[in-house]
Amino acid sequence: MSISLEQLSAQMRRGEQVPLRHTMQVVLTLSIPSILQQIVVTAVEYIDAAMVGHIGASATASIGIVSSSTWLMHGMLAGLYMSFAIQVAQYLGADRQDDARGVLRQSMIFNLVVGLAAAAFGIGISRFLPGWLGADPSLQADASAYFAIWSASLPFLMIMGTYSSMLRSSGDALTPGLISVLTCVLDVIFNFCLINPTREMVVFGRTMTVWGLGWGVPGAALGTALATAISGVLTLAILLLRDGPLCIRKPGSWHITKACLQNLWKVGAPLAAERAVLSSAQVLLIRIVSGLGTTAIAANSLGVSAESLCYMAGYGIQDASLALVGQAVGANRRDMAKNFAWLCTGMGMGIMALTGVGMYIFAPNLMGVFTADAAVIALGARVLRIEALAEPMFGASIVASGAMQGAGDSTGCFVLNLVSMWGVRLTLAVLLAPRFGLVGVWVAMCAELCTRGALFLLRLARGKWLDKGALA
């Protein structure tokens, strides 16, 4: 007999012992669509990178220069809007559906105001950002255009991220997965037309004229922005029209509540700080890499995209972990929250160990998808094989952090990431890069991910993360 997250949550509230098979079923029900979503997203990143990479190493490098800044801005915003999803998970676990819908309404107001402000800020600094990051003058125009166009899509990116995470928190992982697939398909279509000029192509043995605008790097940004905007509007429409515990058509207040603001500060602020810690460190790492030459910049940027093949499964399971632990905490079942956390973390480590082996073996092939530059392929494959050794512990940190966030322990996640990222990765990168180049930077990354995983496993075992409930 199949069981939904809503049914499992009801069992927990009644104090029943949930059979392991039911737990596994719900974990897989939530994880598999999220993992498939990550696969599709990664595949599209591959296609995007390949489209840009075949323009030349300079095009890839111009995007690589600002990529860490996009991570920083999106990461901080994601940290804030994820606090709404955590609240929804816990309120649904406690069977407080009116409160859950209230959080949904307040998140809509938040997204409108903060999303527009973030877009204006990003567009405003786009002209100066590549210079601040030490980009070669030849790369700055494309890098600025890419960042400005990407920034303009931030309100829609927040809409899609917020409401997709809320759907997963309510037990519906399939709908956001399908929306992500649509986003990726649209992204490929738009980029295919916007990046490349009109050209002759051989399709099924026939020569055809394929239309294109030939906008290069700005075209890549615009294609992604248009796909994001369409999907963001669709996600909002689904939430407005569908039935279920988050049906917004049911009566409810639009007033900003003290409880929601307290939870936003208690959970969202540390989450945003955590993302800022991780992403700002990446900005500094890009600053280090930018002094190693165009080949190193391109290999680093493409290597990061290739590595996402490994951790996509971890982030899929993280989504399940956050929803399950959040609802268990809301139902006041610490025992089940702990079981969910360890089960999901073990799954994440096992799957990422297998994908790490695959990345080690096929590293040159992965890089060859992105670019035909032999030097970039050789250097990228070398650093990927270093990174592959850390994937199981990386999986531990990814999934365990989702469990802790679901319980409201975002401050603990912030501290552990601060210690590992700034105390280990950046310190080692500064020491190793001058002597070993990009290899030294990725050795530092490998050492830091192993350290981070060990820290998260230790905190998971101690159990204090369960004392941080998110509900006000």
Average pLDDT along the chain, 472 residues, taken 10 residues at a time? 72 78 80 74 64 74 78 81 84 84 87 91 92 81 90 90 83 83 86 77 67 78 89 85 79 80 83 82 82 86 79 84 87 87 92 91 85 86 92 94 89 91 93 92 94 95 79 61
CA dist 113 and 110 (Å) reads 5
Q: Flag whether 65 is in a domain.
A: yes
3-state secondary structure of 83: helix
Query: What is the number of domains present in the chain?
Result: 1
CA dist 406 and 28 (Å) reads 17
444-450: long-range contacts (C-beta < 8 A, 24 or more apart)?
445/386, 445/387, 445/390, 446/386, 446/387, 446/389, 446/390, 447/390, 448/420, 448/421, 448/424, 449/387, 449/390, 449/391, 449/393, 449/394, 449/397, 450/389, 450/390, 450/393
Residue-number span of the structural domain to which 309 is assigned:
5-467
- pLDDT value of position 120: 95
Q: Flag whether 222 is in a domain.
A: yes
Q: Flag whether 123 is in a domain.
A: yes
CA dist 316 and 324 (Å) reads 13
CA dist 3 and 309 (Å) reads 30
Q: Flag whether 472 is in a domain.
A: no
Query: Can you say how many angstroms the Cα of residue 222 is from the centroid of all Cα atoms in its chain?
Result: 20
Count each helix (H run) and each strand (E run) in the chain, helices first. Answer: 18, 2
pTM above 0.95, yes or no: no
- pLDDT value of position 201: 66
- pLDDT value of position 386: 94
CA dist 391 and 376 (Å) reads 22
Q: Flag whether 392 is in a domain.
A: yes
Q: Flag whether 243 is in a domain.
A: yes
Cβ-based neighbour number of residue 393 at 10 Å: 24
- pLDDT value of position 47: 67
Q: Flag whether 206 is in a domain.
A: yes
330 and 91 Cβ atoms separated by less than 8 Å: yes
Q: Flag whether 219 is in a domain.
A: yes
